[in-house]
Chains A and B, each alone.
Chain A
């Protein structure tokens, strides 16, 4: 990999399965030491993209290079330089922690003189000191996940692809897992991690939002947050929520209305209902209003908004 080339570069990357287009002309660029979050609903094309970048699937169109190697033409070289971990548990349950590490080290031909140190590192990273000879199937989810990550980085890959690595793992273990991801990134590893946990998006340097196989938005969390929602966001405390949502959904000037916990998040655009008029508007419809206050959009607000506007424009065209 030449020093200034990006770790991952995809241009017009496309994958079709028969008549279904799973990934549609996707552009993506990831620099060294960057953690890019791949966010999108199920079936958006996250896994397919990652599998193409790993050389597991051949792109139907477009091109991608990983560590400077073309994924279509040089899949073997690509595989030498990447670590991959999928949502599926992919270690051997009937082997011990140490045997699994030894196996993957052998598959990646980790040099013998580095073997001991790398295995110790992976074991301490997973927090499995003293449990090296335990069968992996007896480990709890979080440990398995960290060990799988340990196995995926035994050969010190400069690029890591993590496909929903934290799905099904309890929140505390998820938090620890993200600490590990940041440690690796600090060491210069480029990481593409897909997730459908919105709060995890906040941990990423940049976010790629994908829907229907297309890149909807890309940027840092704050960039995305600041990007216009098409109006101002307000948090409305009112009862009953359902009736309020229905009334506001069709009201003039309301760009977006959605239930958030026990409150309502609404985006008010120009030339319609204003925030001051809101309590009266709702009261007329027999909805009791506690408070209306401006809110900072969460990433989830941004995603909901971005996905729905993209879908609208796509449907219109």
Chain B
């Protein structure tokens, strides 16, 4: 057993060493994608192009506009003079948001009535729109609190001065106090990139041997399927571990994502995850005769695995059928583990269901692959 396994591993190692681009292919895309994801994967909205139409031209309206101008979330690109300009700004994508202050705005405020403010949003990108609306609501709320206060306190003598009762929300999120989205995304990126890299490496490595003819040559030898499969997967398991370590390092050192958990929990989680992922690649290889087929299968499967992992879209919000599908997705469990280890610092006591699920998935996929492997020759 060990002699055959050791010559298999030696061969893989030699092939990898001879492949001048191997190191490049294994490392550079991972780091580049990590950087791209790290910077780009964010729901924070900045510099939303905004058009303003002030039909009130009062001190109050100017004060409200200055609130928008003061934050970097909004860029006022046009102080419009009529409604048509506003429509044109939105139509031509010059502005995503338009704020219209109607005449009578300050008068209503003075009279203590609620003063309507019109906000037009380009809903094409519903996500950005929704988030921007949230910011607007905040700004307006601040503005109205100020207005109310200024009307109450300067004229203390006023008989009608009822005390303003407001509820102030003191948010204190745990584990990620600044609600830094990067902290949420980067652990997810580590898992996702590793899945994509290792699944395709494993699948392609075996399909290539099948295509070239070396697989057949090995199969007529007395080698056992387990020996061959181990020889073919151990290298990618190790590469996967290296990849996780590398991109985790980038996440921690470059993006300053805290790692407060136990490295051992991370190692066990990563190992189980990689077993499942390598199993997936193997299984895929038993369904592909050529590298083109493997490529098509890879393309077909990896996106759903990515989307249905909880990387960005909450699993709880998905339709039931898709939620069931996520149960066989190793990435789903690993994302829970890696985020928990990075940010919460919890250990085996909390994460055992996910670790167990990964172990089970790995066992199932590897067993099916070994069984299918022999059959796939017929």
Contact = CB atoms under 8 A, between A and B. Distances in A.
A99 interface: yes
B220 A92 contact: no
Contact of B212 (A55, A56, A88): A88
Label chain B's interface by main secondary structure. Answer: helix
Nearest to A135: B18
B212 A90 contact: yes
Nearest to B219: A56
A157 to B, nearest CB: 10
A94 B214 contact: no
B7 A106 contact: yes
A281 B212 CA distance: 56
A67 interface: no
A91 B212 CA distance: 9
B274 to A, nearest CB: 25
B50 to A, nearest CB: 59
B4 A86 contact: no
A108 B227 CA distance: 12
Given A79-B220, A95-B14, A106 B4 contact: yes
Contacts of A106: 3-4, 6-7, 10
A100 to B, nearest CB: 9
Contacts of B93: none
A58 B378 contact: yes
Nearest to B220: A84
Given A90-B214, A91-B214, A56 B220 contact: yes
Interface string A222-259: 00000000000000000000000000000000000000
Contacts of A85: 217
Contacts of B213: 86, 88-90
A76 interface: yes
A315 interface: no
A108 B221 contact: yes
Chain A: interface residue count, which band?
Answer: 20 to 34
B79 interface: no
A89 B215 CA distance: 11
Given A90-B212, A94-B18, A94-B19, A102 B7 contact: yes
A107 B223 contact: yes
Contact of A103 (B7, B219, B224): B7
B14 A94 contact: yes
Nearest to A79: B222
B47 interface: no
B377 A109 contact: no
Contacts of B223: 107
A106 B12 CA distance: 14
A108 B3 CA distance: 9
A86 B217 contact: yes
Interface in B214-251: 214, 216-224
Interface in A88-132: 88-92, 94-95, 99, 102-109
Interface of A: 54-58, 76, 79-80, 82, 84-86, 88-92, 94-95, 99, 102-109, 135, 151
* Closest 8 pairs (CB-CB, A-B): A106-B7, A88-B213, A90-B217, A84-B220, A94-B18, A90-B213, A79-B222, A107-B221
Given A56-B377, A90-B214, 18 more contacts: A56-B219, A58-B378, A76-B222, A76-B224, A82-B220, A84-B220, A86-B216, A89-B212, A90-B212, A92-B11, A94-B14, A94-B18, A102-B10, A106-B6, A107-B221, A107-B223, A108-B222, A109-B222
11 contacts: A54-B220, A76-B222, A84-B217, A86-B217, A88-B212, A95-B15, A99-B14, A102-B10, A103-B11, A106-B10, A109-B222
